[in-house]
Amino acid sequence: MHGVRPQDLQHCIEDLRAQDAETVIEGCMDIGLLVQEEHTDVPLFDTTKIRKRQAVIEALH
């Protein structure tokens, strides 16, 4: 995501919130690196973290 600043993504998230978005799915690992939950009041779902957590669970069972 060359040239994208965290502020740009935060602005996009706030625009989505204004359009009644209830959550944001961070479907690209770069997004999770640039925007964290403390940057917004919109719940974020970081798919990279979700996949890593699931891989650990599966490896342990």
pLDDT in tens, the chain (61 residues): 678 899 999 999 999 999 999 999 999 888 888 998 898 999 999 999 999 999 999 999 9
Q: For residue 14, with 0-12 CB atoms within 10 Å meaning exposed, 13-18 middle and 19 or more buried, which class applies? A: middle
Q: Which helix (H) or strand (E) element contains residue 5?
A: none
What's the confidence (pLDDT) of residue 1? 63
CA distance 38 to 58: 29
CB 44 within 8 A of CB 26: yes
Look up the pTM and report it: 0.75
Phi and psi torsions of 2, nearest 5°: -60, 130
What's the confidence (pLDDT) of residue 4? 85
